[in-house]
A and B are shown apart, each in its own frame.
Chain A
Amino acid sequence: MKSIEELTFPEDRLYATDHEWARFENGGAKIGISDYAQDQLGDIVYVELPSAGKAFKKGEVFGTVESVKAVSELYMPIGGEVTAVNETLADSPERVNQSPYEDGWMIVVKPLDPTEKEGLMTLPAYLEMLKGLA
């Protein structure tokens, strides 16, 4: 596993304590997992995602990500209805390892309550939390 300095973390999004990220754009929130999360999991072999139209509350499990050594639940960083799903992950789950912030995105949700966004961390706060974990 890499040290935090070797990992990348874009500033244009917010982070959750379970290592999901959310980028807010055009009224929607695109969701994926951080470079730290994919590095901890190792080679990802399967991503199970919900179908579009399903709604979840903040903190609810919306899917699972399975690597060669572990299975992790994916938690909603913000509540809402799923409007898009990254179907390419079904055949190419390794995209989550290779490009966790771009090609490896997971779902887009239409947030129900935009104020829930305030419970998420900005990049400096997330980095602070990661240092605590190291």
Chain B
Amino acid sequence: MRYLPHTDEEISEMLKVAGADSLEDLFTQIPKECCRRLRLALPEAKTEWELNAHMDRLAGRTASAAQWKNYMGAGSYEHYIPAVLSYLMGRGEFVTSYTPYQPEISQGTLQGIYEYQTLAARLLGLEVANASMYDGASALAEALLMACRITRKNRVLISRAIHPHFRQVAHTYFAPTEHETEEFPFLENGTTDIAGLSGKSDLAAVAIQSPNFFGCIENLKAFADKAHEMGALLITTFTEPLAYGLLKSPGSLGADIACGEGQSLGIPQSFGGPGLGMFATKMAYVRNMPGRLIGKTADPDGKRGFVLTLSTREQHIRREKATSNICTNNSLCALSAAMYMAVLGKTGLRALSQLNIDKSAYLRDRLSQKGFPQAFTAPNFNEFTVKAGPEFEKKRRSLMDKGIIAGVPLSTYYPELSGHYLFCVTETKTKEDLETLVSEMTS
């Protein structure tokens, strides 16, 4: 859409038609005391090059990936984004926020979402994936509500090793409902304590993240068996879906719903958002699944076509009885993820996963040799927790002056883990980078 302001002539013409002398006359119905008396204190308009310089200055205040060596993951991951993505994502056909309700003019968009759903379902090892949700945290909260709908039970159990933001969003979602959330603890090895399920009853769902917030890989199969034995669903969540290039998929290990953050799959970190809420489940639960769904069908001539399907679950038909209040999706981000998965392919995804594990293991072992032991013994993917001691914080701050961000302090989220730092290494770091970090940390 073009943005062209009205000319003075057009404005006076419109005022004449409206029967007003000036623009101010149009606002006389607003009580005086509600109007701002002083003009807005806005700076003068800038030229294009002044504006660019201004934006560059603002961007320079954040630790944007290009200039920094960033070893933080914790839910947002720096990965190399292939050039083909930036090129394709810039195409005008994709950049529209409008809902593709009309299949007769939206086949390309609908097919794009359908391809994303197919790839997401395969990656997570489940039968059906929705068109995406806002982010990993809201996807988890929606999954928990879905489990309450399916089982008609009110209580959900959430592992404390799930991303703290995800847990917070889930608690917020549940606060006004008749349902309850409860957290259960993790063990000394960094994985969730399955004994936390003992003695619980009437559970709608058990939620586990793998790899979890500490980077540890959970035994999803054991939780699935236990949850099912108790008549509850197993919900698995994730912040790093790249892990499933090597790890067994949540679906194949018994998850009833797998949901989480898909930012890793070709979406820039962009100051924390927008993200991609991935959501997949079993076909048996499709009618209880929140969000939009695109299906493949055939027109009267037998030609393949794509349409919004099962939309009777949504608000515009069911109103207050809708499956969820979320009837939209992050299409452009989903498209990015679909392109990313397609570009990498099965072998590429596996190779990239391996690279992340290898590089992360290299740093983990080097740090361990140099007096920064691993805090948890459970196997990990591209993140791991280091016991660095409380005095490390000063060092971490001083490294920022050198453009290095040495991990995330876990004490912010887990007071009992003071001196523990979560490190992430992706394919973007070279061996030299890692050696520099090690020598800087030990100097």
Hey, which bits of chain A sit against chain B, CB under 8 A? 45-46, 48, 66-71, 73
Contact = CB atoms under 8 A, between A and B. Distances in A.
Interface in B272-315: 287, 312
B83 interface: no
A71 B287 contact: no
16 contacts: A45-B312, A46-B287, A46-B312, A48-B287, A66-B312, A67-B312, A68-B312, A69-B312, A69-B317, A70-B312, A70-B317, A71-B312, A71-B317, A71-B318, A71-B321, A73-B321
A4 to B, nearest CB: 26
Contacts of B287: 46, 48
B240 to A, nearest CB: 36
B75 to A, nearest CB: 37
Interface of B: 287, 312, 317-318, 321
Contacts of A73: 321
A48 B317 CA distance: 17
A73 B319 CA distance: 13
Contacts of B318: 71
Contacts of A45: 312
Given A46-B287, A71-B317, A71-B321, 9 more contacts: A45-B312, A46-B312, A48-B287, A68-B312, A69-B317, A70-B312, A70-B317, A71-B312, A71-B318
Contacts of B312: 45-46, 66-71
Contacts of A68: 312
B320 to A, nearest CB: 12
Nearest to B322: A71
A68 B321 CA distance: 17
A45 B321 CA distance: 18
Contacts of B321: 71, 73
A71 B321 CA distance: 9
Contacts of B317: 69-71
B412 to A, nearest CB: 45
A67 B321 CA distance: 15
A70 B317 CA distance: 6
A101 B56 CA distance: 71
A45 B295 CA distance: 15
A68 B312 CA distance: 7
7 interchain residue pairs of minimum CB distance: A71-B312, A66-B312, A71-B318, A71-B317, A70-B317, A46-B287, A70-B312
B128 to A, nearest CB: 15
B151 to A, nearest CB: 13
A3 B358 CA distance: 72
A28 to B, nearest CB: 25
Contacts of A46: 287, 312
A69 B318 CA distance: 10
A71 B318 CA distance: 6
A3 B279 CA distance: 45
